[in-house]
Structures are given as structure tokens and as C-alpha cells.
Amino acid sequence: MNPIGIVFRRELASYFATPVAYVFIVIFLLLAGWFTFYLGGFFERGQADLVPFFSFHPWLYLFLIPAVAMRLWAEERKSGSIELLLTLPITMLQAVLGKFLAAWAFVGIALALTFPLWITVNYLGDPDNGAILAGYLGSLLMAGAFLAIGSCISAATRNQVVAFILTVVVCLVLLLAGLPMVLNVLGVVLPQFLVDAIASLSFLTHFQAIGKGVIDLRDLLYFGLMIGFWLYANAVVIDLKKAD
């Protein structure tokens, strides 16, 4: 078996060996439901789609994903198991990828457990299931980008609380960069091409683009590059700081 797969399996099993997994999944589902039905006005809108569900995902992830990511490397460093992991015959890239993919798969499981919502809209009406699938894909990709950021920051500290807070801040900046009100303010002081550049760096812009049901290669590329960049930085950070 591939070393990435072995690390992946161990890591994923470790989520379910502790209450972390169950607490996360329950909270995620409760909040997702609450956002959808109360804040999103799922029934009141009278439309058979999952827009109110997906539109709150960025804000849901802002706090929940850093909570998953914070332990990825900080805990390895704190317990010293990082020394064991990195002296096994696997490469740094395999270790980073295996752990990241496990966290991503875990969030994916939580996301997949929202399927009753999909059944509900299909029962109530006749939704565009293609758009819903695209929404799930965009949501999963955005979760991956959040996780990659969190994984990198988690590698820089052995304190999980610090990792959590820093990840929330970085993710918040990347989210806010796409909000119309932020962009309008920036538009007053910055030339348009810079505002566009900032907007194009935002999670929100690309997530909403995919959520419309239009899967553009550029949006996929954006999330791919985002994940790749942060994971590469993750490996570099571990190399620099592993022995501290």
C-alpha cells in the first residue's frame, strides 16, 4: 500500500477514536440545519433548491474547519510523535498529503451526511440536481482550501489554540476579500484592477461561481492552486520548525 494511504488511514481512524469526530459532525449538522432553515428561510423562500444551505457554508467553515485542522501537526509536535512519523521511511510530502487528505475526507463525510436535505428538496419539489452537485463540489473544494491553510498554520506551532485563532484570521481575510462591502470600500482607494485582483483571490468569489452550477476550470484551478500552495508551505514550515 502507498505510504500516503497508510498515513491517511491512520489519521482518519484517529478522528473516530476520539469524541472529536462525533462532536464535529453533530455540531456541523445542527448548525448547517439551523442556518438553512432559520437564517436562510428554506421554507419561506418557496424554492426547491439548496442555495440557503450552501450560502452559509463559508461562515460555517470559518470556525469549524480550523477546529479540525488545528490538531493536524500541532498535536504531533506536542506529543513528539512527529519525530516518529518523520523518521519512518516516508517522505515529507507523503506525510503532509496523507494527513491533509484524511482531514479532508473527514470533512467530506460530515458534508455527505447532510444528504437528508437533498432528499427533502427532491421530495418537496423538482430542483436542479446538477446545481446541487456543483454546490457540494464547491463546498468540498473550499473546505479543502481552509484545511490546507489550517494544516500549514498548525505546523508552525505546538499550541492548538494559537493554530485555531491564526487559521480563523487568515481564512476570514480570504473570505472578506470577496464581500461586496469590502470591495466597495477598497474601490474608493485602489485602482479597479487591484480590486479585481483581490476579489479573485477570495474564496467567496470562486465558491459562489461554482455554486451557480457553472463549473469553470478557472475556479477549480484556483482551489487546486490554493491547496497546493498551502500544503507546500506546510512541508517547508515542518522542515524548518520540526525540531523546535
Partner 1 sequence: MIETRELCKQYGRITAVDGISFRVEAGQVLGFLGPNGAGKSTTMKMIAGFVAPTSGGAKVCGFDVEAQPLEAKRELGYLPEGAPSYGEMTVAAFLGFIADVRGLAGERRRQRIDDAVGRLNLGGVMGQSIETLSKGFRRRVGLAQAILHDPKVLILDEPTDGLDPNQKHEVRGLINAMAKDKTIVVSTHILEEVHAVCNRAIIIARGKVLADDTPDKLEARSRYHQAVSMTVANVAAAREALARLPDVDSVEVDPQDQRITAFPRKGRSIFGAVGDLLKAQGIAVSELQLERGRLDEVFRSVTQGAAKEGARA
Provide the minimum distance between the beta carbon of 218 and partner 1 in the complex, in angstroms, as a whole number: 37
Rama region for 15: left / alpha / beta (φ>0; ψ in -120 to 50; rest):
alpha
Binding flag, residue 44, partner 1 (CB under 8 A): no
Alpha-carbon distances, residue 211 vs 43, 52, 75, 81, 138 (angstroms):
20, 11, 34, 40, 6
Provide the minimum distance between the beta carbon of 7 and partner 1 in the complex, in angstroms, as a whole number: 8
Provide the minimum distance between the beta carbon of 82 and partner 1 in the complex, in angstroms, as a whole number: 8
Alpha-carbon gap, residue 58 to 65, rounded angstroms: 10
Binding flag, residue 22, partner 1 (CB under 8 A): no
Provide the minimum distance between the beta carbon of 14 and partner 1 in the complex, in angstroms, as a whole number: 5
Question: Among 6-14, 42-50, 110-118, 135-143, which window interacts with partner 1 (CB under 8 A)?
Answer: 6-14
Query: How many residues sit close enough to partner 1 to count as binding (CB under 8 A)?
Result: 23
Cβ contacts of 126 within 8 Å, gap of 6 or more: 48
- Out of 27, 90, 93, 179, point to the residue binding partner 1 (CB under 8 A): 90
* Side-chain half-sphere CA neighbours of 74 within 13 A: 22
Alpha-carbon gap, residue 29 to 21, rounded angstroms: 12
Binding flag, residue 13, partner 1 (CB under 8 A): yes
- Out of 30, 43, 83, 130, point to the residue binding partner 1 (CB under 8 A): 83
Burial letters for 169-187: b for 16+ Cβ neighbours within 10 Å, e otherwise?
A: ebbeebbebbeeebbeeeb
Provide the minimum distance between the beta carbon of 106 and partner 1 in the complex, in angstroms, as a whole number: 14
Contact 198, 177 (CB under 8 A): yes
Binding flag, residue 84, partner 1 (CB under 8 A): yes
What is the sign of the dihedral through the CA atoms of 160, 163, 169 and 175? negative
Binding flag, residue 112, partner 1 (CB under 8 A): no
- Out of 79, 122, 184, 200, point to the residue binding partner 1 (CB under 8 A): 79
Binding flag, residue 23, partner 1 (CB under 8 A): no
Binding flag, residue 192, partner 1 (CB under 8 A): no
Contacting positions for partner 1 (CB under 8 A): 1, 3, 6-7, 10, 13-14, 17-18, 79-84, 86-91, 242-243
